[in-house]
């Protein structure tokens, strides 16, 4: 269990073992590194060129962005669990028994290309990954770090070097010179990619540049061969068995032959004779990129990516044509056949190439630049190709069939085809896209909602990295202004067939602030979605990658003006801490210029401004240091400028525990409404007006006039407030009221319409409402008697609303939380544009059970029908619907961004928050449909027992949890 605490520690300099501070990280304070938190930051003396985390997130390989002088720190590896930093380019390889012979040619080199080999290969040994790189001094060779460790040198060496008996870094490495298409040593390697067994290098021929004839894709392999037992010593006592020897060889890509082919066994110290190996041709005339008879004028490889899901390489290129009839493709697939040969396959056939397509272009002077290609295996078990094209990200469905026999495997699928089932005898049945696009209209276009990841291109900066986790695409954006840089994400939205129909708008994933309070400029990142932590690479003053940090769940702050410290003061544990929290994104009616978080507690309301509009958008506010905190008493807002406004007393004393809050626009004014066990109140001026709904609240609430909370109606046990289309919906334990907002609160409350009562859904039995989602005509109600929706043909805005239950197979009766995922991020947009999704959490405290269902919400253009709300299909059972997650216990809250799921429930020894990845969920279902998803658990801090909210800040991206312990946030 991690006690979450954040401390970006700058802890002094770590000296390399030569005694000179070179490309080393900040030192690691021993005590801190041994603490539970493992909070740490590493600041490098030289900029970082490559940041390569392994898939498990346990090791980070880093190379120096420096031509010379980095010495043994040209490359290094950081182990996350111990934060031990190991140089990978020491002066000698192995122990320098013969210093001249063991001299490391990579020492003090500049590493120009780097990638990681990792995956399910028994040769790999561990899951750390093996660093493969190319240096500036030998640009035609690849170097693989076979092993690295620390060991005490033999006595002879210690005496010679006059060193103490201390472990020193030891590195074992292998070199391979790559060949061009003629089998000659290539001039240089221009791009590098690796699977778990193969290394793919784009090579330029001798005396030419890449793209010229002779350019190609060269292949190397890491494998094993049997060592003959006959070669063993006669006196050895081990059983007379064959053993395996690791081999690292280049492959003749057109034929699949390498020097060990045909050799069944080899003697221990014997090397097979060298044979010429060739790269497969890949140049400006290659048909996989060039459509037409005229070669391209320019071809460059931007990225080589191994898709572990598809088991193929995707090569992203820049291609430029000048002939009229020439078309270009921006992505090429490379597959390694069973016979070892490599084959290049176009992702779309010539007939399907279109002008200004996502990965193709056509016409005079047509060109295309694809920076990166990644793949996504969605939680609905379908495959997509994620393309970075300039500053836009696109998604394209991929065909998944038998990779060994079907050449269509891995190519772009028909965009309008429904998934089909693959019948399997042993493994569960799976769905897939089975037919590749053959015609232009079958290829998804850049204009399609389903293709536009993040809806819009990212215009505020340059995309420096793209990575995929679960159903989410993350981008790292570098911008001149740090406020616009950072990590952003977009989540896939699915229809009832589990096919992507749209994407959420780009939303900030996490924000880190510098000591001076400005947002950290993030240049690279990796998400460990098992625990929801980001490892981020931050910029130095020159704007280059220079510091590695990672986000932590933090409960404590040194700064008393940090939000968590303020909340601990305002909402003490003896008053049960925070009772409710709501995150209100900028742009909702009444709040055009800011985003807010409203924390509520016993007789207390606290409003926190989390972002403020500037010239180019919204700038996140630094919650680690809230400059001013205004404490208003008598239930009034006194118009003192401060980013944090605390209101106590007055009518709030009568309200008692306040649990719900919202910002609404009524007439031309904006208001804050709150509700709780003993009433509903609105923050208004004596003239019953609010702030200007057109201007917003201004920086530090400067545009908000003096206002006082006033109680309206006789509401009790208010659970949720939600506003849509000029109407406020008040959800209480036993009824739902709809209030048409005119600005005259007395009148509006007096004319409230009772939309639903608990007896409508539960009859005379005890029951309660738990959650509501409203979007224009549609409303979903989570009740103690299941999920209900507005009935077909009815409208929640009408005078008489009809309701009907939504059948949730395998569900529990009580649906207690509804999480709406929409394109805009506003839950009230659920039925607009492409619709959205709803996570419905059902749970029964009485037996410690909880289930999660996913519902696809289709846009409502006319009336609500049977297809408006549909369940997503079961992953493995044909024509069936089922729950998405079966939790191993009671859960009261669920939050997911599509990559990491957080869920929590009460436990005997206090609540615990668990994190699950999408992969966790799928793997649990793969083996046993009812297997519970537990995830990685974290205990609540400060002895907390009750959690009242899990949320992700729209403004900052940081996740938060609030409860009787106060507030904990990811920083």
Partner 1 sequence: MIAHQKNIFFLIIIACIAVQSAFSMNLFEPYNPLLRPYYDAQNKGTLTFYAEKGIGSRSYNSDGDLVNALHIFQSTQSALAMLQGFPEDSTIGKLRTAIDAADDGTRGHMCPTGHLDLRADAALAVRYSFCTDWAIAAYLAYYDMILKDVSWVDQTQDITTEDIRTKELLTDKLFTVVNQLGNGLELGGWHRNGFGDLTLMIEWFKDFKQNKPFLKNVRVNWRTGLIVPTGKKEDEDKLLAIPFGRDGAWALPFEVGLDLTLGCNFKVGLDVLLIHTFGNSRCRRIKTDALQTDFLLLAKTKAYKDFGMFQQFSLYAQAFQLYKGASFLLGYQYIKYGQSELSLYSNDFSTAIANTATSLQDRTMHQLFIRGDYDWVVHMDDCAPVIPQLSLFARAPFNGKRVTMAPTIGLGLTLNF
Q: Which residue ranges make up the site for partner 1 (CB under 8 A)?
A: 575-576, 579, 602, 656-657, 659, 676-678, 717, 733, 762, 765-768, 770, 784, 812-814, 816, 844-847, 892, 906, 908, 911, 945-946, 964
User: Taking the complex as a whole, how short is the minimal distance between the CB of residue 768 and partner 1, in angstroms?
Assistant: 5
Nearer to partner 1, 629 or 762 (CB): 762
Nearer to partner 1, 421 or 844 (CB): 844
CA-CA distance, 686 to 696, in Å (whole number)?
A: 19
Distances 534 to 57, 135, 163, 530, 809 between C-alpha atoms, Å? 10, 29, 40, 11, 35
User: Taking the complex as a whole, how short is the minimal distance between the CB of residue 676 and partner 1, in angstroms?
Assistant: 6
Q: Are strands 265-266 and 216-227 parallel, antiparallel or unpaired?
A: parallel
Question: ∠189-190-193 over CA atoms, to 5°?
Answer: 85
Nearer to partner 1, 321 or 912 (CB): 912
Instruction: Identify any residues that bridge with 466 across adjacent strands, giving them in sequence order.
Output: 475
Q: How far is CA 530 from the centre of its chain?
A: 11
Burial class (CB in 10 A: 0-12, 13-18, 19+), 669: buried
CA-CA distance, 256 to 642, in Å (whole number)?
A: 69
The dihedral through the CA atoms of 736, 741, 745, 750 has a sign that is: negative
Question: DSSP characters for 736-777?
Answer: EEEEE--S-HHHHHHT-EEEEEHHHHHTTS---EEEEEEETT
Helices and strands in the chain: count of H runs, count of E runs = 7, 70
231: number of Cβ within 10 Å = 14
User: Taking the complex as a whole, how short is the minimal distance between the CB of residue 910 and partner 1, in angstroms?
Assistant: 10
Nearer to partner 1, 410 or 786 (CB): 786
CA-CA distance, 261 to 464, in Å (whole number)?
A: 41
User: Taking the complex as a whole, how short is the minimal distance between the CB of residue 683 and partner 1, in angstroms?
Assistant: 20
Nearer to partner 1, 743 or 910 (CB): 910
Residue 602 DSSP label:
B
Nearer to partner 1, 322 or 733 (CB): 733
Nearer to partner 1, 298 or 845 (CB): 845
Q: Which two tokens stand for residue 312?
A: 């193929």
Nearer to partner 1, 815 or 857 (CB): 815
Residue 194 makes CB contacts below 8 A (sequence gap 6+) with 115, 116, 117, 132, 200, 306
- 672: helix, strand or coil: strand
User: Taking the complex as a whole, how short is the minimal distance between the CB of residue 964 and partner 1, in angstroms?
Assistant: 7
Task: Measure CA of the first residue to CA of the last residue in the chain; give whole Å.
Answer: 18
Q: Which two tokens stand for residue 170?
A: 């030891």
Question: DSSP characters for 707-733?
Answer: EEEEEETT--SEEEEEEETTEEEEEES
Burial class (CB in 10 A: 0-12, 13-18, 19+), 452: buried
Question: ∠579-721-689 over CA atoms, to 5°?
Answer: 105
Q: Are strands 545-550 and 486-494 parallel, antiparallel or unpaired?
A: unpaired
User: Taking the complex as a whole, how short is the minimal distance between the CB of residue 671 and partner 1, in angstroms?
Assistant: 22
Nearer to partner 1, 232 or 678 (CB): 678
Nearer to partner 1, 752 or 762 (CB): 762
- 156: helix, strand or coil: helix
- 512: helix, strand or coil: coil
User: Taking the complex as a whole, how short is the minimal distance between the CB of residue 684 and partner 1, in angstroms?
Assistant: 24
User: Taking the complex as a whole, how short is the minimal distance between the CB of residue 651 and partner 1, in angstroms?
Assistant: 17
User: Taking the complex as a whole, how short is the minimal distance between the CB of residue 422 and partner 1, in angstroms?
Assistant: 37
Nearer to partner 1, 860 or 947 (CB): 947
Q: Which residue has the tokens 């004779």?
A: 273
Q: Which two tokens stand for residue 62?
A: 């880093």
User: Taking the complex as a whole, how short is the minimal distance between the CB of residue 945 and partner 1, in angstroms?
Assistant: 5
Nearer to partner 1, 363 or 848 (CB): 848
Nearer to partner 1, 273 or 766 (CB): 766
User: Taking the complex as a whole, how short is the minimal distance between the CB of residue 787 and partner 1, in angstroms?
Assistant: 14
User: Taking the complex as a whole, how short is the minimal distance between the CB of residue 785 and partner 1, in angstroms?
Assistant: 8
Residue 333, H or E segment: strand 331-336
Distances 555 to 505, 567, 568, 905, 936 between C-alpha atoms, Å? 30, 11, 10, 19, 18
User: Taking the complex as a whole, how short is the minimal distance between the CB of residue 948 and partner 1, in angstroms?
Assistant: 9
User: Taking the complex as a whole, how short is the minimal distance between the CB of residue 786 and partner 1, in angstroms?
Assistant: 11
Nearer to partner 1, 560 or 943 (CB): 943
Nearer to partner 1, 697 or 814 (CB): 814
User: Taking the complex as a whole, how short is the minimal distance between the CB of residue 887 and partner 1, in angstroms?
Assistant: 15
CA-CA distance, 531 to 546, in Å (whole number)?
A: 25
CA-CA distance, 30 to 32, in Å (whole number)?
A: 5
User: Taking the complex as a whole, how short is the minimal distance between the CB of residue 905 and partner 1, in angstroms?
Assistant: 9
User: Taking the complex as a whole, how short is the minimal distance between the CB of residue 545 and partner 1, in angstroms?
Assistant: 45
Nearer to partner 1, 221 or 948 (CB): 948
946: number of Cβ within 10 Å = 17
Q: What are phi and psi of 918, to 5 degrees?
A: -60, -35
CB-CB contact of 206 with 186 (8 Å): yes
CA-CA distance, 580 to 501, in Å (whole number)?
A: 33
CB-CB contact of 183 with 277 (8 Å): yes
Question: ∠214-217-218 over CA atoms, to 5°?
Answer: 100
User: Taking the complex as a whole, how short is the minimal distance between the CB of residue 932 and partner 1, in angstroms?
Assistant: 17
Nearer to partner 1, 238 or 909 (CB): 909
Nearer to partner 1, 273 or 763 (CB): 763
């Amino acid at each position: 269990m991690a006690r979450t605490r954040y401390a970006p520690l700058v802890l002094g300099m770590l000296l390399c073992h030569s005694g000179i501070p070179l490309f080393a990280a900040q030192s690691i304070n021993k005590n801190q590194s041994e603490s539970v938190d493992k909070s740490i930051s590493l600041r490098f003396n030289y900029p970082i060129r490559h940041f390569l985390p392994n898939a498990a997130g346990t090791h980070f390989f880093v190379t120096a962005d420096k031509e010379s002088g980095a010495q043994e720190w040209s490359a290094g590896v950081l182990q996350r669990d111990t934060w031990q930093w190991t140089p990978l380019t020491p002066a000698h390889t192995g122990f320098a028994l013969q210093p001249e012979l063991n001299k490391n040619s990579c020492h003090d080199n500049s590493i120009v290309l780097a990638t990681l080999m990792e995956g399910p290969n028994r040769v790999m040994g561990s899951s750390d990954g093996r660093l493969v790189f190319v240096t500036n001094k030998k640009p035609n060779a690849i170097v693989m770090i076979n092993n690295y460790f620390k060991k005490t040198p033999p006595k002879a060496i210690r005496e010679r070097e006059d060193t103490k008996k201390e472990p020193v870094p030891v590195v074992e490495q292998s070199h391979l010179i790559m060949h061009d298409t003629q089998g000659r040593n290539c001039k240089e390697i221009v791009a590098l990619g690796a699977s778990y067994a193969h290394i793919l290098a784009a090579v330029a021929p001798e005396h030419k540049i890449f793209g010229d004839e002779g350019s190609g894709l060269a292949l190397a392999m890491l494998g094993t061969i049997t060592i003959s037992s006959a070669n063993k010593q006669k006196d050895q006592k081990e059983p007379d068995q064959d053993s395996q020897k690791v081999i690292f060889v280049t492959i003749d890509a057109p034929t699949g032959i390498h020097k060990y082919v045909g050799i069944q066994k080899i003697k221990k110290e014997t090397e097979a004779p060298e044979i010429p190996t060739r790269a497969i041709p890949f140049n400006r005339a290659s048909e996989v990129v060039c459509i037409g008879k005229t070669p391209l004028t320019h071809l460059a490889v931007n990225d080589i990516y191994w898709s572990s899901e598809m088991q193929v390489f995707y090569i992203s290129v820049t291609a430029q044509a000048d002939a009229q009839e020439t078309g270009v493709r921006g992505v090429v697939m490379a597959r390694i056949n069973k016979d070892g040969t490599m084959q290049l396959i176009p992702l779309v056939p010539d007939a399907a190439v279109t002008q200004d397509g996502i990965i193709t272009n056509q016409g005079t002077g047509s060109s295309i630049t694809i920076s990166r290609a990644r793949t996504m295996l969605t939680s609905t078990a379908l495959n997509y190709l994620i393309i970075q094209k300039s500053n836009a990200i696109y998604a394209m469905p991929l065909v998944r069939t038998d990779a060994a026999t079907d050449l269509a495997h891995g190519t772009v699928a028909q965009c309008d085809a429904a998934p089909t089932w693959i019948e399997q005898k042993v493994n569960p049945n799976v769905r897939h896209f089975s037919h590749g696009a053959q015609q232009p209209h079958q290829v998804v276009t850049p204009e399609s909602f389903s293709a536009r990841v993040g809806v819009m291109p990212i215009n505020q900066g340059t995309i420096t990295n793209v990575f995929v986790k679960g159903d989410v695409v993350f981008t790292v954006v570098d911008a001149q202004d740090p406020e616009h840089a950072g990590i952003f994400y977009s989540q896939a939205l699915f229809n009832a067939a589990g096919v992507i129909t749209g994407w959420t708008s780009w939303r900030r994933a996490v924000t880190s602030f510098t000591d001076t309070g400005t947002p950290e400029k993030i240049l690279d990142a990796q998400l460990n979605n098992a625990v929801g932590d980001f490892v981020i690479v931050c910029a130095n003053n020159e704007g280059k990658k220079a510091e590695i940090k990672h986000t932590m769940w933090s409960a404590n702050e040194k700064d008393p003006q940090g939000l968590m410290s303020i909340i601990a003061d305002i909402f003490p544990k003896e008053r049960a801490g925070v009772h409710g929290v709501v995150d209100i994104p900028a742009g909702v009616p009444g709040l055009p210029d800011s985003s807010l978080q409203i924390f509520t507690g016993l007789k207390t309301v606290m409003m926190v401004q989390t972002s403020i509009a500037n010239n180019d958008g919204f700038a996140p506010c630094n919650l680690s240091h809230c400059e001013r905190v205004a404490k208003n008493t008598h239930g009034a807002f006194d118009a003192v400028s401060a980013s944090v406004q605390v209101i106590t007393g007055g009518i709030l004393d009568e309200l008692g525990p306040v649990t719900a809050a919202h910002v609404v626009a009524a007439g031309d004014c904006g208001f804050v409404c709150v509700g709780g066990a003993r009433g509903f109140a609105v923050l208004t001026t004596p003239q019953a007006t609010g702030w200007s709904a057109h201007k917003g609240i201004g920086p530090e609430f400067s545009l908000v006039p003096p206002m006082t909370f006033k109680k309206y109606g006789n509401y009790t046990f208010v659970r949720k407030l939600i506003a849509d289309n000029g109407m406020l919906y008040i959800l209480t334990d036993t009824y739902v009221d709809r209030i048409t907002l005119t600005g005259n609160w007395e009148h509006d409350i007096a004319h409230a319409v009772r939309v639903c009562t608990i007896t409508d859904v539960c009859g005379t039995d005890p029951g309660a409402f738990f959650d509501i989602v409203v979007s224009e005509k549609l409303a979903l109600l989570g009740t103690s008697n299941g999920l209900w929706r507005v009935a077909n043909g009815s409208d929640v805005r009408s005078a008489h609303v009809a309701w009907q239950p939504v059948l949730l197979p395998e569900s529990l009766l009580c649906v207690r939380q509804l999480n709406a995922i929409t394109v805009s991020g506003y839950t009230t947009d659920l039925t607009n544009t492409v619709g959205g999704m709803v996570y419905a959490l059902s749970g029964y405290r009485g037996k410690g059970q909880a289930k999660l269902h996913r519902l696809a919400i289709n846009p409502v253009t006319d009336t609500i029908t049977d297809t408006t709300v549909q369940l997503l299909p079961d992953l493995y059972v044909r024509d069936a619907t089922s729950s998405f997650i079966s939790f191993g216990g009671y859960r009261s809250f669920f939050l997911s961004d599509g990559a990491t799921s957080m869920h929590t429930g009460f436990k005997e020894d206090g609540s615990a928050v668990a994190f699950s990845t999408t992969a966790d969920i799928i793997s649990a279902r793969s083996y046993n449909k009812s297997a519970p998803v537990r995830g990685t658990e974290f205990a609540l801090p400060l002895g907390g027992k009750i959690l009242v909210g899990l949320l992700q800040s729209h403004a900052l991206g940081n996740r938060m949890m609030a409860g009787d312990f106060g507030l904990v946030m990811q920083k």
